[in-house]
C-alpha cells in the first residue's frame, strides 16, 4: 500500500532522547534509521539527559547531528521539552533511543498532516524481543514494554493518545501547550510514564475540533531487552502505570483520562481472557487478569496518595519558541 505524498512545504524535525551509554548500540541504530529515511527530515536532534560522557561520544560520532543537553529537570519529559524548544521544523517527531524507524516512517507521519485539523500523528510500535516473546506475555499488554498493544485500531483512525516511541506533533502547538509535564515521565530506568497521555489530553482540550491521528503503517521496531521480559518487570510496570494514571486523572479529570482504559477493561481484556481460556492457555489468561488487577491497585494507591499532604512539585516551565 502506498501513502499520499506529504505537502513538500511541511518540514520535519526528529528528536531522539537518550540518557545512558548502556544503550549505545541501540542509539546508533536509531540514528541510522532516521538518517536512512526515504524522505530524510530537515533536522535531527539528540537530547542527552544529564550524561556528559554520552553527549561527548555522540558529538564525535555524529558531527552533523545537533547534540544538546537536557536543559530541564532530569527525565524524559524534560529532555523532550528541550528538543521541542530547540527544533525549527513545522512538525516535531519523537523516536526512542532503542527504536528503529522503518524507511517510510517519516513519509507516513507527514502524510497525516495534509489535513489541517490534525495536530499530531503517531504510529505502530512493534516489539523486537531480544530473547523472544515469553509464552505467557499477552499482546494486549505490549504497552508494558512501550509498544502498541492488541486492541488499537488496525487502520488509520483518530485516537486519544500515542505511544511515546513513535509520535509527532505540530511544533507550534506543542510549544504553545507548554510541552510535557515534569512530574510525569520516565526517569532513568524507573518504569513510570503517561506523560504522553496527559500531553495529548491537554492538546485535545485546547482544540476540541482537532484530531490526533494514528496510522499503524508508520512503523518503528522497539528493542525489548531480557530485563523487560520478566514477570517482575511486568508487575512493576503495571503498578507504575496505575500510579501514573492517577496523576493524569488529577490533571485532566477522570473521565477523559480513563475513557480508553474503561473500554480496554470492559471489552479488550475480557475478550482476550476468553480467547486464551478456549485455547487452554492458562498462563496468558492469568497474566491478563493479574496485570489488570495490579494496574487498578496502582491507580487506587495513587489516588489515595494524592489526598495526602506532599511537597510541591516544580511546575512546567513555559516553552520558548526557538530563535
- Helix 282-306 crosses helix 269-278 at what angle (to 10 degrees)? 160
Note the pLDDT tens digit of each residue in 263-291: 889 999 999 999 999 999 999 999 999 99
Does residue 6 have a pLDDT over 70? no
Bridge partners of residue 158, in order along the sequence: 213
Q: Residue 314: what pLDDT?
A: 44
The reported pLDDT for the residue numbered 14 is: 98
CATH code linked to domain 12-226: 3.90.550.10
End-to-end, the C-alpha distance of the chain in Å comes to: 39
Q: What is the mean pLDDT of residues 177-200?
A: 76
For 160-174, the pLDDT digits (tens) are 999 999 999 999 999
pTM of the predicted protein model? 0.88
Q: What is the pLDDT of residue 4?
A: 44
Q: Which residue has the higher pLDDT, 110 or 250?
A: 110
91-100 mean pLDDT = 97
**Grid cell for residue 239:** 503498578
**Tell me, what's the pLDDT at 155?**
95
> Do residues 220 and 148 lie in contact, with contact meaning Cβ atoms separated by under 8 Å?
no
Q: Which long-range contacts (CB under 8 A, 24 or more apart) does 23-26 make?
A: 23/97, 23/98, 24/54, 24/57, 26/97, 26/98, 26/99, 26/223
Domain coordinates of the chain in residue numbers? 12-226
**Mean pLDDT of the 53-81 span:** 94
With CA atoms as reference, report the closest residue to 9 among 42, 33, 37.
Answer: 42
Q: How many residues does the chain have?
A: 323
50 pLDDT higher than 80: yes
The Cα-based distances of 91 to 47, 87, 104, 175 in angstroms read 17, 9, 16, 11
What pLDDT was estimated at residue 248? 82
Q: Average model confidence (pLDDT) for the chain?
A: 89
Amino acid at each position: 500500500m502506498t501513502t499520499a505524498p506529504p505537502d513538500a512545504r511541511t518540514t520535519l524535525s526528529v528528536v531522539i532522547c537518550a540518557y545512558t551509554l548502556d544503550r549505545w548500540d541501540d542509539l546508533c541504530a536509531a540514528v541510522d534509521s532516521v538518517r536512512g529515511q526515504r524522505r530524510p527530515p530537515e533536522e535531527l536532534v539528540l537530547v542527552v539527559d544529564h550524561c556528559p560522557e554520552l553527549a561527548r561520544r555522540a558529538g564525535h560520532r555524529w558531527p552533523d547531528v545537533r547534540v544538546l543537553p537536557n536543559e530541564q529537570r532530569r527525565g524524559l519529559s524534560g529532555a523532550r521539552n528541550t528538543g521541542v524548544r530547540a527544533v525549527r521544523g513545522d512538525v516535531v517527531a519523537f523516536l526512542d533511543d532503542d527504536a528503529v524507524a522503518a524507511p517510510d516512517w517519516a513519509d507516513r507521519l507527514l502524510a497525516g498532516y495534509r489535513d489541517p485539523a490534525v495536530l499530531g500523528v503517531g504510529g505502530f510500535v512493534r516489539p523486537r524481543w531480544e530473547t523472544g516473546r515469553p509464552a505467557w506475555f499477552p499482546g494486549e499488554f505490549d504497552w508494558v514494554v512501550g509498544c502498541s498493544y492488541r486492541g488499537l485500531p488496525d487502520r488509520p483512525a483518530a485516537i486519544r493518545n500515542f505511544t511515546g516511541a513513535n509520535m509527532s506533533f505540530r511544533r507550534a502547538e506543542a510549544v504553545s501547550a507548554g510541552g510535557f509535564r515534569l512530574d510525569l515521565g520516565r526517569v532513568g530506568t524507573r518504569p513510570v510514564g503517561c506523560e504522553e497521555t496527559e500531553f495529548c489530553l491537554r492538546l485535545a482540550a485546547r482544540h476540541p475540533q482537532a484530531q490526533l491521528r494514528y496510522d499503524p503503517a508508520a512503523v518503528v521496531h522497539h528493542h525489548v531487552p531480557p530485563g523487560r521480559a520478566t514477570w517482575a518487570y511486568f508487575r512493576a510496570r503495571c503498578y507504575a502505570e496505575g500510579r501514573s494514571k492517577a496523576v493524569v486523572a488529577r490533571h485532566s479529570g477522570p473521565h477523559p483520562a480513563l475513557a480508553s482504559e474503561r473500554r480496554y477493561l470492559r471489552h479488550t481484556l475480557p475478550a482476550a481472557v476468553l480467547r486464551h481460556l478456549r485455547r487452554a492457555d492458562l498462563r496468558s489468561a492469568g497474566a491478563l487478569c493479574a496485570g489488570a488487577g495490579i494496574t487498578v491497585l496502582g491507580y487506587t494507591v495513587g489516588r489515595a496518595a494524592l489526598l495526602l499532604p506532599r511537597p510541591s512539585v516544580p511546575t512546567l516551565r513555559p516553552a520558548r519558541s526557538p530563535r
